[in-house]
Chains A and B, each alone.
Chain A
Amino acid sequence: MVRRESRLRVAGTLALAALVAGLAACSISYSSQSLSKSISSPFKSSSGSSSGESDSAYLDEVRSYAAGFGASGGDATAFRRGIGSIAERRGIHDWEDDDATCQAVGQGLKRAGLTQDAAAALLGELFAGRKDRAAVAMKGFDAGE
């Protein structure tokens, strides 16, 4: 009897909590949109590190995007537009001139399992007319992650 009452109480408590929780479950907290998050740089992880996580998140995104392209193929123009869009969100206007971005593209192709020759050919196409930048990307391919 006592055990049954206890179970009922637990069930009732859970139902009440679920009712309240359901109203805002998994949603963004208003406090996370308040002063603190709005006024400070979102990508700063500590006073000591400048942009470590920011670059890590950005370069992971570039690698992943390039790996997807390397694995499934597609249109080179769409690829360039896609990388341009990722770089723009990071505040990089000319991604072809950013060494880390170029190397991350090469690393992505390595992750996709391309051979060195295939990667060199694809990078030559993606960086058409800019052999120096294709070479930087190839360094990323050779170094891996």
Chain B
Amino acid sequence: MRLRFLAATASLLVARAAGAAPELAFLHVEANAGGSSGGHVALRVGDATWHYQNQAGLLLLVREDSRRFVHDTALIENRPIHVLRVGVSAEAERRVRERFQARLGAQQSQLDALAALRAERELLALLARRAAGSPLRPGEGIAVAGAGYFAAPGWPFEPDPALARLRARVARERGESFLARRADALRRELQALAPSPGAAPALPRLDADVALPASDGFGARAADLAAGIEALRVLAQARPLQPDAIWSGGDAAPALDADAVRALRAFRERLADTLPALLDATRPDWGTALLVGMARLAALDASLREGRLRVLDAYPERAARLDSARLRREPGLLPALLVDARARVDRELAAFAAREPGARQAAWSDLEDSANRHRELARAAATGSALRVQPERLVPLRAAPFAELAAPPAAAGSLAAALERTAAGEGQLERELGRVHGYELVTHNCVSELFATLSAAFAGDPILEGEALGGLVDGRQGLEFIPFAAAASVSRHWRLVGRETIPSLRQARVAAMREREGELAVALREASPLTARAGADGARESFFLFYTDDAVWPRPLFGALNLGAAAGETALGLVAAPFDRGRTLLRGLEGALMSLPELAFVNLRKGSYDWVPESARREIGVAP
């Protein structure tokens, strides 16, 4: 019976069938420890799920793949999701989708503007020091993305064969001296470049829905010129890749079959044809594009020479690492992950081979990402060392410093003034971002902003919004700022065409066990993480004795026992604090905090998982 209930949810998570009536789905995610402990809300539109997250004090819009959202939420975080579906017109669905997308773009442009001001301020500070007579320290300069893959100047090297061919082609088509002349012109331009005198243009009052234009100021132009000069230098010298730029470990990388060889060869030729066009490009950032393109070209060439897939190491220099001790605690994990990752690389390689030539950059990027994750797992498994990790897409942008930065003493005054202006502009933008996007528990949280964006999709016209959704929910009335209260309002006011609950992984597993083994035995065994077989005992969970999410009447008693266990962990943490930097102490305190509501019949903590394979989606009734 329960399994049938679970299977019924499957249809919720697959893409809407072509021709099906358009709909929006309001998602209420139940509370759990670790984050969003008051629950969370999101809006599913087609295959995208939109939600606002508090990231270091800023409430930022996030777009996620709907399956990924369910995987992270219902499986890893072990939180049930209540789905409230409302039928809408195609026009209403389009309005909502485009409004959320525009909001995301505006938000990104504002964060990019802040990053550009920061980079400009750092460059100006460096130039001001140079003008005052300080020499550059090692590693200082403009960070040129893509340049870090190539052999550094000052070391002997053999020219890279693919880049040597590219250089010969450019020389044939544009003349032998083209690269040198172009580089000289860029150097002159860089030397003449100076910050604009006078006051910086005033920052407009920020609006969350209005994009800022991409920066074209002093810092951005200096970085463009530096990247151009560096790209021309690499090409002129046909500099080879650094030994660690591509993985040559021997050898877990997939061997290339005939289809893959054909596809890689075609992509290599396409790059060789199109990269020279970047030398005339009107886009200001052509230098970085050329550097990354040349590094990819060299990696492709190496793959074809060696008959195995070689991709650029795309992990950022300061990638987070999972320490090896933690990996050793779960000895079965890395082998399982490796199998999963290898299958993914094979799929991506096949997908790359099947793509049209004009679509292969994106497919190569997918393949790069998967191959990087696979090889990193293989390396960590083989050496027992820490594992580099990155939640975002891995893009090869390894930087090297560009140090040809002259700042004559005469420029000291103007540089100091420009530095002051840029720092002031950065501070102003930071304050504006805080004003517009700043998180507040009651008035500006994941609920209020989701409904505000939804209203904006209908131009703030309540009649239009009411007609589209069946009714109005403001997200700021009464207790609506709390996710479950907002969900109750949606239930009351919107024109729902269906409602379902996607169970958490532990709920689904316990339900399946009950069917197989009987109620009582499973209920007793699964009540505690100490005896449970359904898991949800993530490594970072605080210590607790009983699950209380499915135990209503014993909840205060279990809560008291959990509070006692948390007190014990806290006491242990006090003793261990000098040795573990207070980690155990903090976990104990968090455990106590999560246990308190249980005394009043309120459950927040549900346990979580460290890793769940995609195949586990079947357990909650979702196709992997």
Contacts and interface: CB of A to CB of B under 8 A. Distances in A.
Interface of A: 9, 12-14, 16-18, 20-47, 50-58, 60-61, 63-65, 67-68, 74-82, 84-86, 88-94, 96-100, 111, 128-130, 136
Contacts of A16: 596-597, 600, 602
A20 B289 contact: no
Interface in B267-308: 270, 274-275, 277-278, 280-285, 288-289, 292-293, 296
Contact of A21 (B39, B67, B351, B361): B39
15 contacts: A14-B479, A23-B37, A24-B36, A25-B446, A26-B52, A29-B608, A37-B72, A39-B387, A43-B393, A67-B98, A85-B112, A91-B393, A93-B289, A97-B274, A99-B358
Contact of A32 (B77, B320, B356, B611): B77
A100 B361 CA distance: 10
Given A32-B76, A93-B289, A94-B289, A41 B322 contact: no
Given A26-B38, A31-B76, A35-B322, 6 more contacts: A39-B389, A44-B344, A50-B347, A51-B363, A53-B68, A81-B285
Contacts, number: 299
Interface string B356-377: 1011011111101110010001
Contacts of B288: 88, 93
Q: Which of B72, B284, B365 has the most CB of A within 10 A?
A: B365
Contacts of A18: 38, 482
A24 B605 CA distance: 13
A22 B483 CA distance: 12
Interface of B: 31-32, 34-40, 47-48, 52-55, 59, 63, 65-68, 72, 76-77, 97-98, 101-102, 104-105, 108-109, 112, 146, 211, 213-216, 220, 270, 274-275, 277-278, 280-285, 288-289, 292-293, 296, 320, 322, 333, 337, 340-341, 343-344, 347-348, 351, 356, 358-359, 361-366, 368-370, 373, 377, 387, 389-393, 395-397, 439, 441, 445-446, 479, 482, 538-540, 593-594, 596-597, 600-602, 604, 608-612, 614, 623-624
Contacts of B347: 47, 50
A40 B624 CA distance: 14
A21 B614 contact: no
A68 B102 contact: yes
A53 B65 contact: yes
A61 B63 CA distance: 11
Contact of A35 (B211, B341, B610, B614): B610
Nearest to A33: B391
B373 A41 contact: yes
DSSP majority for the A interface? helix
A81 B116 CA distance: 12
Contact of B216 (A63, A64, A81, A97): A81
Contact of A81 (B284, B365, B597): B284
B105 A45 contact: no
Given A25-B38, A44-B68, A89-B395, A35 B366 contact: no
Contacts of B320: 38
Contacts of B366: 41, 43, 50-51, 54, 91
Contacts of A39: 337, 341, 373, 377, 387, 389, 611
Given A42-B391, A57-B48, A91-B369, A85 B214 contact: yes
Contacts of B390: 38
Contacts of B601: 13
Contacts of A97: 270, 274, 277, 358, 361
B53 A31 contact: no
Contacts of A44: 65, 68, 344, 614
Nearest to A111: B98
A38 B322 CA distance: 9
B361 A94 contact: yes
